[in-house]
Chains A and B, each alone.
Chain A
Amino acid sequence: MITNKSDRSALSLLLILASSALFACGGDDPTILNAAPGSGGTGNQPSGSAGTNASAGTDAGGTSAGGTGTGGTGGGSAAACVEEPSTPEDFLVRCTDSACRPFDNAARLTLYRAGEPLPEVP
């Protein structure tokens, strides 16, 4: 049960890291992930109410109502997403039926070190 913002943020980070491992796409492989339908064609639904969880969605560890779930995908893998975002971090991973194209920083950026600050620009 998520009880406060920091817990939600921590869980979001964990889910992001977990999904990063799942999405080990080769370079710019144009994988289209289809996390959750329901955003299109609905006019102005209040934010957070857009759409429903995807076909393959399962509860992601007993989150609070309307919280994090795992959306279905178009490519056979699963993505963590938040159906009813309430924090800025939630909006980064909100559920959507939009196409997405992963960019693998670790594989493509030689100077990038996961978890470390970016190097100073000369």
Chain B
Amino acid sequence: MKSFRVRRESILALIPGVAALTLVASPALAVPCSELNLPNPIYGAGGSAITATLGRVATELAGLPEPITVLFADPGACIGYQAFLDSNVTTTFKYWDAAGTQLSCDPEVTGQQVDFAHMGNTADFCPGLTLPEGVKDYVGPIQTLNIITSVNSSESSISSEALYFAFGFGAESQAAPWTTEAGLVKRNSTSFVHLFLADSIKLSAEKFKGTQVAANQESVNAVVAAAATDPDSTLGYVSGSAADNNRGTVKTLAYQHTGQTCGYYPDSNESTLDKINVRQGLYQLWTPGHFFARVDDAGAAVNAQVASLIGWFDGSVAPPEGVDVTSIIIASGDIPSCAMQVTREGVTGPISSFAPEQPCGCRFEFAATGATECTACTEDAQCGATSPKCRFGYCEAY
């Protein structure tokens, strides 16, 4: 796993380039965030895998009687985390109003200090980075990595080995139909999805071939663009939320990991959203997300608003009345840990059984798919012997 890692200096060298790309992509008239007098601002930075989910939560928070404004810069997982550590975010922030409109503003000229970071991975998964003293890693909802192609592609599955050949050898891969490098969409070596896929398929993160883009949505857009000439040749990898939010234009390929003889979707089939194969460990491309915040000597987050935000995401703190963060997480394509039946060591480590303290699988199924075979309930007495515990409105096994 260490072999593909690059030195920290390499990451830092990339930051100005990524920053420039982001600034080019941002509205020309963006103004400093600090001059907008936004109510109760919380600043964060990190990868774009969480942006869609965070935006939906932020929309609800903006509509509270006492609004909270979440501002998030997503230059990439490791770059955003590094900027959080350095208190020096230089890329554009996204924020959302109560109508769900995504807006943007600029950091302070001297660099913006942010209150939290989010990555799909642990700190040490980023080349050369660590979790310093005074910063805590909070495990968040589970995210998937989806292998995508054009919705018009005739392909339906891909293996770990095929990904290795396609991205490792490019036009020379002989892994038809993914032999056109213009159709291979990759990320840079500091993004979570890139590092995660590289480690999963055992391909050096530095040796991917293809067209490089800077964010999950840009990967989707690039696949769609390349599909105009040859939909079968298109291949990309994005967060599950990005894939699910773009099902009209891209489709997730069933993924066959090394040691499997069949490819599986994150869901029970290509048209559902139940994430059952993630929750049971059959689909291999998933890992918990991670929030990072500064903590005091007692280990408590120094910013109370950040503590609440993270608590709403991990279920440890009740969200404001009328804001159902768990349902938003599910609707966005992520999975709260209470709906998981498996866990894994580290970011890509071995999978093992997991029994959440307060299971919410039934609630997840209903929220994600609109249906569940579980019995609805308001108290334990309404549940049968096999699922005797009423949790989150449904009878669970314990």
Which of A47, A86, A121 makes the CB contact (< 8 A) with B207? A121
Which of A39, A45, A101, A109 makes the CB contact (< 8 A) with B156? A101
In the complex, what residues of A have CB within 8 A of residue B168's CB? Answer: 121
Bound Cα distance A28, B351 (Å): 28
Chain A contact residue count (CB 8 A cutoff): 44
B96 to chain A, nearest CB (A): 32
A47 to chain B, nearest CB (A): 4
In the complex, what residues of A have CB within 8 A of residue B354's CB? Answer: 47
Bound Cα distance A83, B139 (Å): 29
In the complex, what residues of B have CB within 8 A of residue A98's CB? Answer: 264-265, 267-269, 276-277, 282
Bound Cα distance A40, B204 (Å): 37
In the complex, what residues of A have CB within 8 A of residue B113's CB? Answer: none
A-B contact count (CB 8 A): 173
**Are B280 and A96 neighbours in the complex by a CB distance under 8 Å?**
yes
Q: Contacts A39-B276, A47-B342, A111-B174 given: A93-B373 contact, CB under 8 Å?
A: no
> Which among B70-78, B252-260, B293-301, B309-317 touches the partner chain?
B252-260
Q: Which A residues between 2 and 31 are near B, CB-CB below 8 angstroms?
A: 16, 19-20, 23, 28, 30
Q: Is the interface of A mostly helix, strand, loop or mixed?
A: loop
Q: Say yes or no for B396: interface residue by CB 8 A criterion.
A: yes
Which of A16, A47, A88, A110 makes the CB contact (< 8 A) with B350? A88
Beta-carbon nearest neighbor of A45 in chain B: B397
**Are A92 and B162 neighbours in the complex by a CB distance under 8 Å?**
no
**Are A44 and B174 neighbours in the complex by a CB distance under 8 Å?**
no
Beta-carbon nearest neighbor of A88 in chain B: B350
Q: Contacts A19-B261, A48-B353 given: A118-B365 contact, CB under 8 Å?
A: no
| Chain B interface size range | 35 or more
Which of A94, A102, A110 makes the CB contact (< 8 A) with B174? A110
Which of B156, B259, B267, B372 makes the CB contact (< 8 A) with A16? B259
Question: Beta-carbon contacts of A61-101 to B below 8 Å, as 1s and 0s?
Answer: 00000000000000000010000011011011110111111
**Are A44 and B360 neighbours in the complex by a CB distance under 8 Å?**
yes
Beta-carbon nearest neighbor of A84 in chain B: B353
Bound Cα distance A47, B276 (Å): 12
Residues of B within 8 A of A (CB): 154-159, 161-162, 164-165, 168-169, 173-176, 202-204, 207, 253-254, 256-257, 259-265, 267-270, 274, 276-277, 280-282, 284, 338-339, 341-342, 350-356, 359-362, 365, 371-374, 387, 394-398
The 22 listed contacts between A and B (C-beta, < 8 Å) are A20-B261, A40-B276, A41-B371, A44-B359, A45-B341, A46-B397, A47-B353, A89-B259, A91-B281, A92-B284, A93-B259, A94-B281, A96-B277, A97-B268, A98-B268, A102-B157, A103-B254, A108-B162, A109-B165, A112-B161, A121-B204, A122-B169
